[in-house]
Amino acid sequence: MTRRRRRSVLILVCGAVLAAALALVLSAMRDTIVFFRSPTEVASQKVAPGTRFRLGGLVEAGSLKREADGHVEFSVTDTGSTVPVRYRGLLPDLFREGQGVVTEGVLQADGTFRADTVLAKHDETYMPREVADALKAQGRWQEGAGKPAQGASAQPQAAPVSRTAVQ
């Protein structure tokens, strides 16, 4: 085998190994990628039952129901559409009606979203970008809501530190 032929075979083998590795990585990522959807997208795109995704929006006022067996039912809305959610477990401390929430789980055949993770907003300015965009499109988003007043700082200022020489 000539030197040129060996080099060509080596390049082809390396390319095949890299292609196989890339295929394995992409295959593994496909199983872990979870898409975000708003309630309006769930209703308009006719999401297939059994599809895993993140559902985000506002907890609809008056929809929270707690059961004795630990199940919690509530509805997530973006003011355009509403999706009923069923969850078993402890809710985050900041979870309440009228506040932003992101749930992760599976859509069931009856249209109920069975959540296995519930994330509540963590500060006054948190809102998933997609939910904020949906609220802006419907005219329900108020720009500047929840932000500190002009000139006010969100973080307390540290006192100046003086350095002295140690002898």
Can you tell me the distance from the alpha carbon of 82 to that of 42, in angstroms, rounded to the nearest whole number? 9
The amino acid at residue 112 is T
For residue 43, give the H/E element and its range.
helix 39-44
Task: Give 111's pLDDT tier (boundaries 50, 70, 90).
Answer: confident
Over 50: is that where the pLDDT of 14 sits?
A: yes
Can you tell me the distance from the alpha carbon of 4 to that of 106, in angstroms, rounded to the nearest whole number? 55
Q: What is the mean pLDDT of the chain?
A: 78
pTM beyond cutoff 0.75: no
Tell me: the pLDDT tens digits for 24-59?
888 887 766 667 888 888 888 778 888 888 888 888
Tell me: the pLDDT tens digits for 123-132?
555 566 777 7
* DSSP E strand boundaries for the chain: 35-37, 52-59, 65-66, 71-77, 82-88, 100-107, 113-120
